[in-house]
Structure 1
């Protein structure tokens, strides 16, 4: 191993344990082997005598140092393991402490919940007990009141029975007294009655005789005087003629006043003044009747329409005005289209522009009149002919009255009313002008279609018309309302928002847009300071769109039911 040892040296001797026993089973009694010590001494002497003794020592030192380093590393590893173990123990102890704390907290919480449940149960039991006591007390009070009421009722019944018994006894006593008195005074009473009857008969007979004598003498004197007879005849005749003349004159005057100042029952609205208006506003009535201070107005004032339709209506307005000036026969119009597109507004504007009076009636008012419909229609046309300026008679919902007699089942009264209407409108007239409005003109009777000179279709407003209408109604109801109304303050509402509303209101009629603007005004008046913000602005639009959708569904259902009824019929 060292390169310089002795050749006869056995390696096995160097690595034998020092305390190994001798071969052959020898050894000391104490177990100490001296041979090992001797061999070690011998090896040490041989090592000292060897040439590589110093190198061996250094090698042993280095081995020893290496072992010491290894032992130090193991010791450090053991220390680190011990520290890790201590840290794990500390962490485990902390985890156990945390679990213990959580368990304690959970226990305390359960305990608190249990105590709270017990307290609530105790409170409930206490309340139930109090309620039971109150109910028992109330029941006892009710029983006491019932007993008192029963006692009072029995007392009242007893008092009433006593009072009745007393009254009966009193009445019986009084009756017995009167009977006894009458029996005792019977002869005197009979004698007195006979005397009174004789005296009354003599008085009446004497009065009759005196009256007859006086009447006979007066009649004889009157018949003998021929002058009185003649004057009496003239007086009676004059009174009869006066009464008849007064009644006839009053009837004629009443019909005249009614035709001039009254209003037929079929007319819903008119620009002509009635008798009550004449009494209330005589000056205004006089100016209106004779056209004093009236300025010509635009027939399309406040109406937004498509350009071609506006041009057609302006031509009609000019033609009607010139027809009135020249006293030529008027042409009758049919305005048809969806509701709320401006038909009624144009009819009023046409009448004002042309200087005509106007009257509005609806077709639905005719059928309920029954047999009186014919009379009322004649009164209407007689009244129309009395207008000094001419009358524009606007029939709204005309299809409800002027339906075809061939394809529609109508009653006999409606048929007679339609015939009367056709009779009064059969010839051209320079006294009145007929303007019909209908959503379903295809249902008109052919004779009515023959009396229509011009038809105008009013459609739903397009994008440009809706833009103008929205701007006009915002200005009318929000920004510049009448003097008695408060202006609305708008927040974050500009051209972009208005343009968005224009796009979202597709399918809206002019009336629907007007109602939308009024809804904006109402929403603003519902806030402090009358403020309309952007959110409310668009929410109102959405609400109106939902309402319109619901109405369309209802209308479709109604049309479907009507079709089913028609098919079943």
Structure 2
């Protein structure tokens, strides 16, 4: 009820967040002069106006009919004021507790930072100490190495000194030994010379006697040998039958040696031409006696195949899979067979076209169909032979002329050595080999048939044109030919293995003819060899 009496009127209230300051202590009892105040001085400054107003207010309240309500209202206001002050005190206490917690957190953070700094300092100190230890260890190693090097140098110097002393000792010893040896030799020489001077007459007499004895021995040997040979020659000359027999024997011996040497050479060349295969021939159906002994089964199978029908032998001929060539190939085969039967002169053939179109296969089947032997050589083997090319070429044709059944000589890649002689790129050895080839093929032969194969016939020498009687072009197969080839290789590499007794493959159910036609369309531009390789790949 302080407001009622006007004691706290006009004084500001403390803020809720700050602590309430206690009232100032009362002034000391003594005055400035050291004595106590008098009663009249104590109440001299008292203002009774407030009491008067309070009394007047109390009277007014007593007279008012709402005095009790005002008193109750004042009491309630005082309680609310006290409660507000208590809540402010609690807020102040909470703020104080929060400040204490913040201070604790700050202290903990400061302590953590202090510990981190201390750990960093300890780590830095440890690293520095480790660095110092490493440096000390390195210094110790360096000092130890220097000490070891010094000791090693001293040892080397000591060894060198010892070696020098040893060498000096050995040299001195050798020098003394040499001097002693020279003195000994000198003494022996002087003694020997003195003995020789003293015995010079005796030595000369001994030499004279030895020479006389040797001369007498030689003269006696000569006389004895002359007498023996003279008596023998006299007896031989006196008997003319012995002289005639001796002369005839020596003559026959000389003739026999000379004849045997020449006959051996002729027989060797004949056997080589008849039985030996030339080095330029890569493959042949003509077997020698040595090959027949080494490979009897192979020779038997070859003879059996030659006994088959011509139609069965030519089943793989390119003419059968290429209708455009069938008539031309048939004519060539029939003409060659008739020539072989009539023992006529064979016609030389030139086959040209892209690789893999069946030129080599046609040559083999043509030889089988005609009952002839075949031999295959490549033009690329001629150039590396150099100077031996001429001899090798003559051996090939000599060997071909010895065939009784007729020989089909197939030259694959013939443009490799049958080039134009007017160009500067051809060597002298290759030019000589070409001249030998032209010499041996200048006339038709009933012993061999020449078949040339080339991919570039325009590179041939102009003289080759006179040797060629028939030209056959083997072009890439068309759609119909490709389809026939695809069907042929499909049957050979897929159907036959699948339907055989061993059952190596399993085929799915689909239209084989339609699939072969589709493959033939997609195989445009492929040769027969490429289609064959494609058929082999189907087995994988």
User: When the two structures are superposed, what TM-score results if normalisation uses the length of structure 2?
Assistant: 0.61
- Aligned counterparts of 1:30 and 1:443: Cα–Cα separation in 2: 155
Q: 1:90 to 1:220 in 2, by over 3 A?
A: same
- Aligned counterparts of 1:85 and 1:317: Cα–Cα separation in 2: 119
- Aligned counterparts of 1:77 and 1:426: Cα–Cα separation in 2: 136
Q: Contact between 2:379 and 2:414, CA under 8 Å: does it hold in 1? A: yes
Q: Deviations over 1:366-387 (max 9, x none)?
A: 5555433322332344345557
Q: 1:223 aligns with which of 237, 259, 266?
A: 237
Q: 1:105 to 1:48 in 2, by over 3 A?
A: same
Q: Contact between 1:18 and 1:33, CA under 8 Å: does it hold in 2? A: no
Q: Which residue of the partner structure matches residue 377 of structure 1? A: 393
Q: 1:222 to 1:159 in 2, by over 3 A?
A: same
Q: 1:48 aligns with which of 53, 62, 71?
A: 62
Q: Which residue of the partner structure matches residue 35 of structure 1? A: 49
Matches within 5 A, 1:141-152: 141-152=155-166
Any idea what SS the aligned residue of 1:410 has? coil
Deviation, 1:428, is 7.1
Q: Deviations over 1:52-89 (max 9, x none)?
A: 33343344345434434543554454344344434433
Q: 1:358 to 1:114 in 2, by over 3 A?
A: farther
Q: 1:168 aligns with which of 174, 177, 182?
A: 182
Q: Contact between 1:269 and 1:361, CA under 8 Å: does it hold in 2? A: no
Q: Contact between 2:375 and 2:410, CA under 8 Å: does it hold in 1? A: yes
**1:130 matches 2:140:** no
Q: Contact between 2:351 and 2:474, CA under 8 Å: does it hold in 1? A: yes
Matches within 5 A, 1:140-539: 140-260=154-274, 262=276, 264=278, 278=290, 283-288=293-298, 311=321, 327=340, 331=349, 363=380, 366-367=382-383, 369-383=385-399, 401-424=417-440, 431=448, 453=471
Q: 1:84 to 1:195 in 2, by over 3 A?
A: same
Q: Deviations over 1:161-213 (max 9, x none)?
A: 23333333333333333333332222222223233333333333333333333
User: When the two structures are superposed, what TM-score results if normalisation uses the length of structure 1?
Assistant: 0.58
Q: Contact between 1:271 and 1:357, CA under 8 Å: does it hold in 2? A: yes
Mark the runs of 5 or more structure 2 residues left unpaired by the alignment. 12-39, 309-317, 341-345, 478-485, 494-528, 534-540
- Aligned counterparts of 1:144 and 1:375: Cα–Cα separation in 2: 78
Paired residues, number? 433
Q: 1:330 to 1:99 in 2, by over 3 A?
A: farther
- Aligned counterparts of 1:104 and 1:55: Cα–Cα separation in 2: 72
- Aligned counterparts of 1:159 and 1:173: Cα–Cα separation in 2: 21
Q: Contact between 2:407 and 2:448, CA under 8 Å: does it hold in 1? A: yes
- Aligned counterparts of 1:358 and 1:254: Cα–Cα separation in 2: 22
Deviation, 1:245, is 1.6
Q: Which residue of the partner structure matches residue 24 of structure 2? A: none
Worse-matched range after superposition: 118-127 or 441-450:
441-450
Q: Contact between 2:394 and 2:436, CA under 8 Å: does it hold in 1? A: yes
Q: 1:346 to 1:120 in 2, by over 3 A?
A: farther
Q: Which residue of the partner structure matches residue 120 of structure 1? A: 134
Deviation, 1:290, is 6.1
Mark the runs of 5 or more structure 1 residues left unpaired by the alignment. 1-10, 20-25, 298-307, 460-464, 473-509, 515-569
Q: 1:146 to 1:391 in 2, by over 3 A?
A: farther
